[in-house]
Amino acid sequence: MTVPQSTRHAIHPQDFKGYDTQKLREHFLIENLFQEDTIQLTYTLYDRLIIGGVHPVNGPVRLDTFPTLRSENFLDRREIGIINVSADSTVTVDGEEITVKNKEALYIGKGVKEVLFHPAPNGADTRFYFNSAPAHHTFPTKKVQLNEAETVELGSLETANARTIRKVLINSVVETCQLQMGITELKTGSVWNTMPAHTHDRRMEAYFYFELPEDQSVCHFMGEPQETRHLWVQNQQAIISPPWSIHSGAGTSNYTFIWGMAGENLDYNDMDKVATTELK
């Protein structure tokens, strides 16, 4: 199967300052992650992270390699983190069928030959979101249920950022080479995520916004702390965030998003915080 794939190149922060809205969207926004019976993926040159979506409808969809990887199989030199963002379904990993429920995560390590994404058995809408990063070591496949995640409650309704953070694929929960992923859910009445903001030069990040009502939007803020820009993001769209950029957002409704990171440091708390009053 031919895998629809695009490449996004790394951008220097000095060049970023001169981008208009259209150019920002072309370089950092991923709009169409889900197409029936295909895998849609974006290969970024930020830590070689791949951002993808799978929407099986009529049968299983195979995770195929593509020319840029120069590998026989997708995971010959990579690891992958998968999160189910729809109905409960299954993923087959080298012949082993694994049930992945809504918002559960599945880590698959380097060296696996075949990954198949299956539509839900009852015909319900089925969508998987994934991030993939280069791997230097093989760690075993592991499913992470929500009750196994490292869960933190942050923020408050007074500051419109009351949220639940579930760290599903981090080194305190599952061994990975460099990939980390988690799910943040905004509570009703809260709209801000990742505020106060931060950067982390040791790793890049990607955000996938979902569970956002179709008539609502999220305004995503990015850029160096002293030179910020914004992009309006719709339901089931993703943002690429360079290591030098803040990554924050405010919605016209509450929503959920998946954050994924790749880079040289697995310490989740390794970040350079920016006071809200210092942003420009």
pLDDT of 150 higher than 90? yes
Beta strands 105-108 and 50-54: pairing type?
unpaired
Report the pLDDT value the prediction gives residue 142, as an integer from 0 to 100.
98
pLDDT tier for residue 204 given thresholds of 50, 70 and 90:
very high
**How large is the average pLDDT for residues 113-126?**
96
Which pTM value belongs to this model? 0.96
Annotate 81-101 with three-state secondary structure: EEEECCCCEEEEECCEEEEEC
pLDDT of 2 higher than 70? no
118: annotated binding-site residue?
Answer: no
Average pLDDT taken over every residue of the chain: 96
Domains parsed from the chain with CATH numbers: 17-278 (2.60.120.10)
205: annotated binding-site residue?
Answer: yes
pLDDT in tens, 59-69: 999 999 999 99
Report the pLDDT value the prediction gives residue 5, as an integer from 0 to 100.
84
Report the pLDDT value the prediction gives residue 46, as an integer from 0 to 100.
97
pLDDT tier for residue 22 given thresholds of 50, 70 and 90:
very high
198: annotated binding-site residue?
Answer: yes
Angle, vertex CA 106, rays to CA 177 and CA 123, nearest 5: 155
pLDDT of 267 higher than 90? no
200: annotated binding-site residue?
Answer: yes
**How large is the average pLDDT for residues 112-132?**
97
